[in-house]
Amino acid sequence: MHGVRGVRCRATLVLEKGGRRIVDEDLVKLLILIDRTGSLLSASSSLGLSYSRAWEAVARLERALGTKVVEAKRGGRRGGGAALTDYGRKLVEYYVSEYRRVLKRRLSVRSARFEAPELIYAGSNDVLLEHLFGMMRSHGVEFIEIAWIGSSGGLSSLMLGEADLAGIHLYDEETDQYNVPFISRYWLEEKVVLIRGYERELGFAYKAEIRDPLKALVEGEARLVNRNLGSGTRVYLDYLLRREAEARGVAFRELVRSIKGYENEVSTHLDVAKAIALGRADVGLTLRWVAAKYGLRFKPVRWENFDFAVSLEKLEKKPLKAFLEVLRSEELRETAEKVQGYRLPQDLGEVVQPSG
């Protein structure tokens, strides 16, 4: 048969689990480069991927397998780094051997040099922070790598030595504190300082009239659009659901299994609002500003602290100095006044928890 002009056939190999595609050629190349360079950032840049896409690809694989594929290692660039776990190496070896057996060719992985960003942000998604990064251009900082990978992902990136800065809003129910307890839990006491950020109003967004959104979810009357695992919003929603499970005398896992859409995850607050506005879900825990943007109803839950974990090693460098200057600026205060559901405290930009 004659070929179609401009179209060619290319065979590849995928691995599946339970009928779901979990590993393909591009992901294996990413894993190989992570192990080769000791850096998720270097590996993703070599393949022309954003850091956030690479992070999510690895996280999605680990969730599907139920085990770690990439782990932190001591030493290396900036005192940390990434490496494949034993399981990760075995997975790559299995894929490569099957690739050669089935396709009768070698898997070629080329590592390219890449330009390092001036500032690497990894952490929670935030609209005011987007404005702040835009303001940094007037301070001579142009090339900022931004990875919206959630609060836990941001702290993990700092632990790996990949990020310079992480925006976090993680609630600890044992201490009733935001963010401070998590610095030690990620072994970052001597690597970062925690800088006071701002406050954001968190609550349930919905379109149709719902008297009690949490009750409607638990009793199966409404569909949830959830945030990604590791995000601060997901952490707080799970805290609310654990309290609800205790009050009802049921196990947390049993409760969440009964919630429609609990597994329906999105990565940003805008995605939550879009899903509700388009009728794909009924309720989501999100920020007031995003609910207002999409004309949704909003039931407040609490004000949360959105703070910044900053690499101690990079604190005196120009990009982070510029970040702190803009964070403390009157220009940011004026911008925040135009965004619903934000409050800037008097100690904005001050150290909350020193290193060591």
Give the Cα separation of 28 and 333 in Å (integer).
Answer: 45
Q: Do 312 and 287 have their domain in common?
A: no
Does residue 114 surpass a pLDDT of 80? no
The proportion of the chain whose per-residue pLDDT surpasses 90, expressed as a percent, equals 67
Which helix (H) or strand (E) segment holds residue 295: the answer is none
Query: Is 215 a domain residue?
Result: yes
Predicted confidence (pLDDT) per residue in 147-197, tens digit: 888 899 999 999 888 899 999 999 999 999 999 999 999 999 989 999 999
Q: Is the confidence at residue 2, as pLDDT, over 70? A: no
Asked whether residue 125 is assigned to any structural domain, the reply reads yes
Domain assignment of residue 181, yes or no: yes
- Whether residues 73 and 95 share a domain: the answer is yes
Residues 142 and 56 in one domain: no
Domain identity same for 195 and 230? no
Q: Residue 10 falls within a domain, yes or no?
A: no
Residues 59, 137, single domain; the answer is no
Same domain, 167 and 133: yes
* Exposure letters 220-255 (e unless 16+ CB within 10 A, then b): eebbbbbbbebbbbbbbbbebbeebbeeeeeeeeeb
Does residue 163 contact residue 120 with C-beta atoms inside 8 Å?
yes
| Domain boundary residue, one of 79, 103, 127 | 103
Cα dihedral 21, 27, 29, 30 in deg (nearest 10): -160
Is residue 225 within 8 A of residue 284, CB to CB? The reply is yes
For residues 181 and 209, state if they share a domain: no
108 vs 172: which has the higher pLDDT: 172
User: Closest Cα partner for 117 from 138, 147, 139, 75?
Assistant: 147
> Is a pLDDT exceeding 80 seen at residue 80?
no
The last residue of a domain, from among 60, 75, 103: 103
- Domain tally, the chain: 3
Examine residue 51 and state whether it is found in any structural domain, yes or no: yes
CATH of the domain at 90: 1.10.10.10
**d(Cα 323, Cα 133) in Å, to the nearest integer?**
8
* 110 in a structural domain: no
Q: Of 70, 103, 136, which closes a domain?
A: 103
Same domain, 344 and 266: no
Specify the pLDDT at position 356: 43
- Element housing 332 (H / E): helix 330-336
135: confidence class by pLDDT, cuts 50, 70, 90: very high
CATH number at residue 134: 3.40.190.10
Q: Are residues 130 and 85 in the same domain?
A: no
Q: Write out pLDDT tens, residues 269-313.
A: 999 999 999 999 999 999 999 999 999 999 999 999 999 999 999
Give the pLDDT confidence score for residue 256 in this predicted structure: 95
The overall average pLDDT reported for the chain is 90
The pLDDT tens digits of the residues spanning 53-71 come to 888 899 889 989 999 999 8
Domain that holds residue 76: 15-103
**One domain, residues 194 and 311:** yes
C-alpha–C-alpha distance, residues 80 and 335, integer Å:
36
**CA angle, corner 321, sides to 316 and 325, nearest 5?**
150
Same domain, 43 and 166: no
Please report which confidence band the pLDDT of residue 267 belongs to, taking 50, 70 and 90 as the band edges.
Answer: confident
Decide if 2 is inside a domain.
no
**In this structure, are residues 304 and 169 in contact, taking their beta carbons and an 8 Å threshold?**
yes
Residues 48 and 60 both lie in one domain = yes
Q: Are 54 and 84 in contact (CB under 8 A)?
A: no
Domain membership flag for residue 272? yes
